[in-house]
Structure 1
Amino acid sequence: MKKKTLSIFALAAVLSACGGGKESATEAEVVEVAVTEEVAAVNALTEEEKSEGWQLLFDGKSAEGWRGYAAKELPAGWIIEDELFVALGKGGDIGGDVVYGAEEFGEFELKLEWKIAEGGNSGIFYHIVDEEKHKAPYYTAPEYQVIDQIGFPQKLEMWQSIGADYGMYTPDFEGAVKPAGEWNTTRIVFTEDKAEYFLNGKKTVSFDPWSDDWKQRKSEGKWKDYPDYGEAKSGYIGLQDHGAKTWYKNIKIRKL
């Protein structure tokens, strides 16, 4: 935990009348007031976060709790480097993704920071059902789209764009996009009544899970041939390795 101290200087001048009607400062007092503000260290919780029920999913030192999807160990394509959780870009459409397998989450608020290599594509999953009949997390799990929106080599449809509910709800990302290699902040708030996605403080998506609109989008869109997509009301959190180097830190969640 780090502490940041702000110094506030106040100048008090006492003016008195002198000969000839002129005024001058005869006394000056400088007062320094120290204000202490709690600042979270990287991959750590502040006392306020602890009191609000947040839990840390990555401490920057180990991958405790994390494993490969449909695996017992962490894939070789994931490492810890400089206190960051790093996907090396060795994964593809199937294979290479990781899940936080220590606990499942239903209604939650998730926040984390990430950056991606130029031209890269990745994603953040939730409500993953890790069963043998499903080859990858996206067979069951909604995905917050992580991508180099500016430098991706192919034309992106809106449903593929940064901050989207991938394949379902298109995002409003205007003013929130950063170039590849810069850190982004993602926040997902999910309850059974409302889901909201945020990118760098801006809300990109809002939808009602399992509503008639949601069901229609599923039945007519990308997920029409994936009967278990989005049906689970709880599951694992996951990170995608879709062939691009991606860095993650400050992965935090709280149950709602």
Structure 2
Amino acid sequence: MTYMRFSGKLPIAAGLLSLTLTLSVNPANATRLPGEHEVISPLKKGGWESLFDGKTLKGWHIYLKEGQPVSDKWTVDNGAIHLTAGGAGDLVTDKEYGNFELELEWKIAEGGNSGIIYHVHEDPKFKASYNTGPEMQVLDNERHPDAKQGRDGNRTAGSLYDLQKPVTPNAAKPAGEWNKARLIIKDGKAEQYLNGKKTAEYPTSGPEWDKMVAESKFKGWEGFGKYDKGHLALQDHGNKVWFRNIRIREL
């Protein structure tokens, strides 16, 4: 076998190949050449952030009551946020979000009703979070009357409440069982998933959105769906409900 011996200097072509491989394998550490745009690794943006530590309600407050103690009806129960009785008010994040991906698990009591509401604009002229924020429905489909109201199931669990019938109906598990929800809002478009099944897909603004609102109970509501950034809310609809494993990443 013949071995080739190289001097300490690589040929120009080999040197360029080495530089190309280095840039491809580790763009974050590479030195940019004049006129090049920075290569941003997907790992640098959109890291997951926990919204619930499993022990306290730090990072949350009652709608319109920021800085005040959270109602004792919102408790932490075995690693989950638990609404024990109605009358507490909606629980909202201290922080606002625009484009994001949200994941959480929820469990509803028999006959119960609640919701996951986003882009909530907190202002005294709006008395509740649902005055401005669209809602991903949380419901006991078998026992709560809302499941049979509205149109084509647009008030059932996982749906965009009163605005769109489910893309995939009957994705929810029965009352008392945990459901995994996922909500993605990105550049004026939204997708909702329940237990791995897509339940809603829609624009969050524009003619199609305006038509949906005009044909819903929200017709004429000042501020409803008008904000592209806002708080997340867990709804107090008067029934026992649990939420856990809540995390978000900004997009």
Q: Which interval holds the TM-score relative to the shorter structure?
A: 0.7 to 0.9
Task: Give the secondary structure class of the aligned counterpart of 2:96.
Answer: strand
Q: In proportion to residue count, which structure has more strand?
A: 1
Report the CA distance between 1:51 and its aligned residue: 8.3
Task: Give the secondary structure class of the aligned counterpart of 2:175.
Answer: coil
Task: Give the secondary structure class of the aligned counterpart of 2:154.
Answer: helix
Report what 2:73 is aligned to: 77
Report what 2:220 is aligned to: 225
Report what 2:49 is aligned to: 55
Aligned pairs for 1:1-256 within 5 A: 53-71=47-65, 72-91=68-87, 96-101=89-94, 103-153=95-145, 155-157=148-150, 158-174=153-169, 176-256=171-251
Report what 1:25 is aligned to: none
Alpha-carbon distance between aligned partners in 1 of 2:145 and 2:186, rounded to the nearest angstrom: 35
Alpha-carbon distance between aligned partners in 2 of 1:106 and 1:179, rounded to the nearest angstrom: 31
Aligned-residue Cα RMSD (Å) equals 2.0
Report what 2:22 is aligned to: none
Contact 1:192–1:208, Cα closer than 8 Å, also in 2: no
Alpha-carbon distance between aligned partners in 2 of 1:125 and 1:174, rounded to the nearest angstrom: 20
Moved more, 130-139 or 187-196: 187-196
Report the CA distance between 1:111 and its aligned residue: 0.4
Unaligned 5+ segments in structure 1 are 1-48
The AA in structure 2 aligned to 1:78 is: W
The AA in structure 1 aligned to 2:47 is: G
What is the identity percentage for the equivalent residue pairs of Structure 1 and Structure 2?
43
Alpha-carbon distance between aligned partners in 2 of 1:212 and 1:73, rounded to the nearest angstrom: 41
Contact 1:111–1:252, Cα closer than 8 Å, also in 2: yes
Alpha-carbon distance between aligned partners in 1 of 2:47 and 2:183, rounded to the nearest angstrom: 16
Contact 2:158–2:171, Cα closer than 8 Å, also in 1: no
Contact 1:162–1:173, Cα closer than 8 Å, also in 2: no
Alpha-carbon distance between aligned partners in 1 of 2:158 and 2:188, rounded to the nearest angstrom: 20
The AA in structure 1 aligned to 2:127 is: K
Alpha-carbon distance between aligned partners in 1 of 2:157 and 2:194, rounded to the nearest angstrom: 8
Change (3 A) 1:245 1:106: same
Under a length normalisation based on structure 1, what TM-score does the superposition of the two structures give? Answer: 0.75
Under a length normalisation based on structure 2, what TM-score does the superposition of the two structures give? Answer: 0.77
The AA in structure 1 aligned to 2:109 is: A
Contact 1:84–1:248, Cα closer than 8 Å, also in 2: yes
Alpha-carbon distance between aligned partners in 2 of 1:191 and 1:79, rounded to the nearest angstrom: 31
